[in-house]
């Protein structure tokens, strides 16, 4: 049996979790919108066409912020096409995903959906095929009270009160040559600067996310950030970063180590932001928006066989495994352990497209395996993230040496006197005896323990077996004089909550 020890002290902290760390993402891609969140003919649809079964699951995830409408989609999007009477909205070729976009669902519908889903919008503007004028016009349409052409148009469309959208992305993945309107860092930086200025002139209260690198492996990573921030540092509030991991080689130990690479990416990006600050001799510290992250690889081959120019074709419909849930849990742990600088994070995406929630058009909705760690961290990960002194055995992969078998994050809620330990045992065949030193805490008297694991790492949930992989309650987490003791099963996701409650 492996053994690991971690020691905690409530005075040694990383930072408080921002609720926006637990966000989601809806893009006009595949069945994310049509057949996902919006399906007027579905038996469970409400009067707005929103699927109420999906809404219930999104509320269960408790995602305080949701990014929209893209993603690659936004770089060719005319937002004006998606507002006003539906019978007057034009259909368009959607070039990013080679689909047909009806524009039956647009900005106003998304705002209404957010209200029902108990989330807030993070709107992206098109800086691929459009300019700063289109961006500021959208802010005016959404946020200005009345008395101007764009605000009065919103009122004419049936929305007399401003939407008051606070968070905005300045384009999407503009460093990628796959992006409509792809630009070099200087060209994008200048356009983002101009858009940021004009958008904040319309509404000085908004917060802006500027595009960082769309992956740590991008050849321009580092150079891109420094050049973009040369033009935008004083105008923006967050720098974005994106990452997706997969396991096409079926190397499970290396796959489970991927969340550590995510941590490297965050720390390197923080260093770039702080270098830009140091150059300006400013105390301003730019925060990060990790507004796309997930596992994505199962649907690659299937997507190549989809006939182009369909309406809402099945794209990106990864059917997630137990193994994927472990990696998503590990990525959530990484985000928690960087809560001092990562203030916004958006799981990409929320429904059907690389998503924790799957639906059948006209049929049921169900939780994928990855739903469970996302739900656990959203519910129990709000508080103060503690620094950990960890001693754990390690293993090596082709990408990284000395990967700890224990990957963990600990969140302390002093008001409720509750400590939550999120712990991943990355060993595939050995249990891990964990001891958590708690000498600086008040006495805990109760411990609850939920475990997500399956003997088959390829186990999946589906329409006919929606709970094949689901959390189970475990006994055996013991509070002893020297701290918490628990034996973590091989390849398991664990949530242990300690409290002073009897």
Residues 6+ apart with CB under 8 A from 475: 449
Active site residue 292: yes
Rounded CA gap, 175 and 400, in Å?
26
Q: Is residue 352 packed enough to be buried (19+ CB in 10 Å), middle (13-18) or exposed (0-12)?
A: buried
Task: Using DSSP, state whether 290 is helix, strand or coil.
Answer: strand
Rounded CA gap, 217 and 221, in Å?
7
Task: Using DSSP, state whether 257 is helix, strand or coil.
Answer: coil
Rounded CA gap, 162 and 166, in Å?
11
Is-contact 130 170, C-beta < 8 A? no
Catalytic residue, from 173, 225, 227, 317: name it. 173
Rounded CA gap, 25 and 244, in Å?
14
- Token pair 């720390």: residue: 267
Terminal CA-CA length for the chain: 32
Q: How many residues can be counted in the chain?
A: 502
Is-contact 303 256, C-beta < 8 A? no
- Token pair 């005075």: residue: 11
Active site residue 109: no
Is-contact 278 285, C-beta < 8 A? no
SS3 readout for 49-64 = CEEHHHHHHHHHHCCC
Catalytic residue, from 27, 94, 227, 292: name it. 292
Rounded CA gap, 384 and 397, in Å?
32
Q: Provide the annotated active-site residues.
A: 173, 292
């Amino acid at each position: 049996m492996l053994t690991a020890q971690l020691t905690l002290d409530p005075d040694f902290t990383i930072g408080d979790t921002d609720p926006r760390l637990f966000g989601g993402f809806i893009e006009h891609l595949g069945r994310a919108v049509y057949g996902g969140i919006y399906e007027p003919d579905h038996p469970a649809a409400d009067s707005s066409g929103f699927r109420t079964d999906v809404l219930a699951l999104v509320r269960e995830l408790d995602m305080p912020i949701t990014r929209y409408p893209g993603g690659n989609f936004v770089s060719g999007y005319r937002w004006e096409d998606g507002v006003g009477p539906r019978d007057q909205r034009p259909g368009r070729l959607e070039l990013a995903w080679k689909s047909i976009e009806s524009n039956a669902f647009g900005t106003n519908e998304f705002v209404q959906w957010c209200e029902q889903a108990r989330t807030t919008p993070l709107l992206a503007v098109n800086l691929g095929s459009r300019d700063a004028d289109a961006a500021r016009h959208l802010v005016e349409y959404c946020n200005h009270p009345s008395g101007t052409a764009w605000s009065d148009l919103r009122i004419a469309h049936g929305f007399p009160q401003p939407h008051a959208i606070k968070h905005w992305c300045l384009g999407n993945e503009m460093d990628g040559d796959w992006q409509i309107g792809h630009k070099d860092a200087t060209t994008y930086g200048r356009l983002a600067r101009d858009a940021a200025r004009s958008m904040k002139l319309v509404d000085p209260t908004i917060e802006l996310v500027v595009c960082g690198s769309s992956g740590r492996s991008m050849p321009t990573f580092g150079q891109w950030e420094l050049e973009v921030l040369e033009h935008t540092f004083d105008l923006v509030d967050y720098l974005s970063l994106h990452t997706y991991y997969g396991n096409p080689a079926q190397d499970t130990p290396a796959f489970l180590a991927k969340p550590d690479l995510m941590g490297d990416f965050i720390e390197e990006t923080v260093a770039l932001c702080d270098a830009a600050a140091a150059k300006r001799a400013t105390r301003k510290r730019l925060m990060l928006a990790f507004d796309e992250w997930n596992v994505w690889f199962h649907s690659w081959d299937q997507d190549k066989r989809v006939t182009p120019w369909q309406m809402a074709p099945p794209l990106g419909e990864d059917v997630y495994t137990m193994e994927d849930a472990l990696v998503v849990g590990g990525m959530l742990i990484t985000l928690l352990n960087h809560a001092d600088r990562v203030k916004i994070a958006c799981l990409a995406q929320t429904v059907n497209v690389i998503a924790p929630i799957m639906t059948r058009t006209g049929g049921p909705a169900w939780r994928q395996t990855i739903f469970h760690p996302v739900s656990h961290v959203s519910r129990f990960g709000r508080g103060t993230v503690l620094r950990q002194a960890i001693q754990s055995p390690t293993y090596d992969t082709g990408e990284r040496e000395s990967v700890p078998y224990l990957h963990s994050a600990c969140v302390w809620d002093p008001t409720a006197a509750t400590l939550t330990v999120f712990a991943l045992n990355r060993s595939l065949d050995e249990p891990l005896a964990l001891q958590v030193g708690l000498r600086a805490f008040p006495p805990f008297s109760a411990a609850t323990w939920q475990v997500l694991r399956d003997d088959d790492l390829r186990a999946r949930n589906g329409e006919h077996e929606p709970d094949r992989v689901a959390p189970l309650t475990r006994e055996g987490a013991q509070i002893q004089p020297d701290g918490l003791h628990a034996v973590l099963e091989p390849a398991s996701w664990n949530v242990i909550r300690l409290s002073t409650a009897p």
